[in-house]
A and B are shown apart, each in its own frame.
Chain A
Amino acid sequence: AQSVTQLGSHVSVSEGALVLLRCNYSSSVPPYLFWYVQYPNQGLQLLLKYTSAATLVKGINGFEAEFKKSETSFHLTKPSAHMSDAAEYFCAVSVASPGSARQLTFGSGTQLTVLP
């Protein structure tokens, strides 16, 4: 079974500072990895995904993540935080199951606060 661990349930950064949200995964087979963002009172939307192509993945709103197999990590970064980045971020992993659909397993989430 796959699992995801997000380090830090709350992260605060100053506007203009680097954003780093950490995600480690566990999977016995090659995974797909995702970052989703949830703004207040909304559902989740996809930020970026890794599906076994390039290990450095660029997403929307200036975010990117790097798949590091040796470290089983998929950390999310953004060079310069903006006030509008304040939201909850979820890392997720999915693996293929014979005869069934891929299921996404989510981490517990990281609430990002951006300070003026």
Chain B
Amino acid sequence: DVKVTQSSRYLVKRTGEKVFLECVQDMDHENMFWYRQDPGLGLRLIYFSYDVKMKEKGDIPEGYSVSREKKERFSLILESASTNQTSMYLCASGTATNEKLFFGSGTQLSVL
């Protein structure tokens, strides 16, 4: 069974902390994505990667960075967490054509 695993289901952090969200996929997919999901706004793309060490900004990259050192792992980094980054974060992976994305179950991040 294919799997996208996000390291934490719930996370509580304080303002100014550095936060790492980890995502691992076991399908040898080229592409990986980070979205944030907010009520009424749907999913918004933060960053994506189409190869190891490659990254591209999505629609809302400000305040975030990413790392992809290995094909199966894609990390989202909040350098200095702020309260407006409280959200549900979803990781996804897909093949080169992205005809189907596989999603993790999400990390609900609260920044206090």
User: A interface vs B, CB < 8 Å?
Assistant: 6, 9, 32, 36, 41-46, 49, 51, 90, 94, 100-109
Contact = CB atoms under 8 A, between A and B. Distances in A.
B98 to A, nearest CB: 4
Interface of B: 4, 30-31, 33, 35, 40-45, 48, 50, 56, 58-59, 90, 92, 96-101, 103-106
B97 to A, nearest CB: 7
Given A100-B56, A103-B58, A46 B101 contact: yes
Contacts of B96: 101
Nearest to B38: A108
A104 to B, nearest CB: 6
A42 B104 CA distance: 8
The listed residue with most B CB atoms (<10 A of its CB), out of A6, A49, A103, is: A103
A111 to B, nearest CB: 10
A51 B100 CA distance: 11
A106 B38 CA distance: 12
A94 B42 contact: no
B90 A43 contact: yes
A45 B35 CA distance: 14
A34 to B, nearest CB: 8
8 contacts: A9-B40, A42-B106, A44-B103, A94-B98, A100-B50, A102-B98, A103-B48, A106-B44
